Amino acid sequence: MVAIRPSELPRFTSRDCLAKRAFLIFGPDEGGVRIRADQIVTSFTGKSRDSLERLDFDAETLNGDPGKLMDEAQAFSMFSARRLITVSGASKLSKTIWSLVLETPGLETPILFLADELAKNAPIRAAFEQHENAAAIACYPASRSEIQALIEERVKASGLSITAAASAALCDLVGSDLGLTDREIEKLILYCHGRVAIEVDDVATMLVDTSELGPAEAIDRAFEGKLEEVESATLRCFAEGIAPSGLIAMALGHAGLLRRLAMASGNMEAAFRAERIFFKRQDRIRGQQKLWPIDQLGRAIDILAQTQAQMRKTPAIEETVTVRALWSIALASRRR
């Protein structure tokens, strides 16, 4: 059987995939499906994708013209030495089409079939898992180690490094979403271009400070005492894939930022520059400074730290615990 296990993925997508020509990449983690497909494409193209012509089809198009896929796979490319084909929505693809790919010996063109979740007895999944010249990759919500591996891979490829604290903060923020991790690490790489390493403050700046409706909004509303708005902003974060543990970690970082500013002496503008606070949020930070004397910030940090501990013990209710913690912060800002 050629069902690729999670532990085999790094080696398979970087090297062993080159021995195959038919791939089924499927699962409920849409971002994971896209990333695994991109990794295989990169293995076939090397550093330059200009050396390969990529054709993208969807199942509906191919079902309307059953011979098109094999015609394209066997055609001579006018634009490059090789071709690679991807087929989206493969769960809806006619069996006649994908079975012909498996039955064709000596196929030179790699074909990637992308699908959402498939039952174990789905014909296309069973066929790819059992065929010696094909491979099936299931993409489910990633473990923390898989998220960290993706971060390290992307950062290393960019020529940067990332501190352990920054990597942990990013993992906390994105949860188990490979697609979200991929997008956010791309932001960090662009932001830190020309530097040596990505620091935890960079994660806070790019993933919190630049988000108008992301974690920054929920955190700001809590620290501004907007009790009535905290829940909706927090639930929107969860809907967008932000992990509760990541949101609380960022709220702790925000409380720490306010405390450092409260302790700063001298030129406040210089303190803002030293903290690299995104300019669009500086007015909101100044407003929050007025609401939070340094002793109250200590209380806020205690609330958030206790919330982290409770979430580790009762992960099943972490969303509820997160909302309640941010409610407590909003209430505390009103009691000054």
Alpha-carbon span 147 to 153, nearest angstrom: 10
- Note whether 132 and 161 are same-domain residues: no
Q: What is the pLDDT of residue 51?
A: 57
Average pLDDT over residues 267-287: 79
The average pLDDT across 202-226 equals: 75
Structural domain count, the chain: 2
Torsion of CA 322, 327, 330, 333, to 10 degrees: -100
Q: In this structure, are 202 and 55 located in the same domain?
A: no
Comparing 78 with 332, which gets the higher pLDDT?
332
Whether residue 84 contacts residue 54, with contact meaning beta carbons closer than 8 Å, is answered with yes
Same domain, 219 and 299: yes
Q: What CATH number should be reported for the domain holding residue 35?
A: 3.40.50.300
Span 10-24, average pLDDT: 91
Taking only the tens place, the pLDDT of each residue in 260-270 is 888 886 677 78
Instruction: Single out the residue in 138, 153, 185 at which a domain terminates.
Output: 138
Same domain? For 9 and 98 the reply is yes
Identify the domain containing residue 103 by its residue range. 3-138
Task: Say whether pLDDT at 80 is over 70.
Answer: no
User: What whole-number distance in Å separates Cα of residue 294 and Cα of residue 234?
Assistant: 25
Query: Same domain for 188 and 83?
Result: no
Residues 295 and 265 in one domain: yes
Residue 127 shares a structural domain with residue 270: no
Domain closes at, from 138, 163, 191: 138
Per-residue pLDDT, 212: 47
Please compute Rg for the chain using Cα positions. Answer: 24
Verify that 130 and 204 share a domain, yes or no.
no
CATH at residue 249? 1.20.272.10
**pLDDT tens per residue, range 44-54:** 887 555 556 78
What's the confidence (pLDDT) of residue 149? 86
Q: Please tell me the distance from the alpha carbon of residue 19 to that of residue 2, in angstroms, as a whole number.
A: 12
Task: Specify the pLDDT at position 10.
Answer: 83
Q: How confident is the model at residue 78 (pLDDT cuts 50, 70, 90)?
A: low
What value does the mean pLDDT take over residues 32-44?
89
Same domain, 187 and 172: yes
Q: Based on the domain organization, do 179 and 314 belong to the same domain?
A: yes
Q: Which of 122, 138, 154 is the last residue in one of the domains?
A: 138
Phi and psi at residue 160, in whole multiples of 5°? -100, 175
What dihedral do alpha carbons 53, 84, 116, 129 form, nearest 10°?
-170
| Minimum mean pLDDT range among 9-18, 41-50, 185-194 | 41-50
Residues 112 and 173 in one domain: no
What is the distance between the alpha carbons of residues 233 and 216, in angstroms, rounded to a whole number?
9
Q: Is the pLDDT of residue 303 over 70?
A: yes
Residues 82 and 211 both lie in one domain: no
- Give the residues across from 157 on adjacent strands: none
Residue identified by tokens 């069902």 is 3
Phi/psi for 314 (5° steps) reads -130, 70
pLDDT at 211: 47
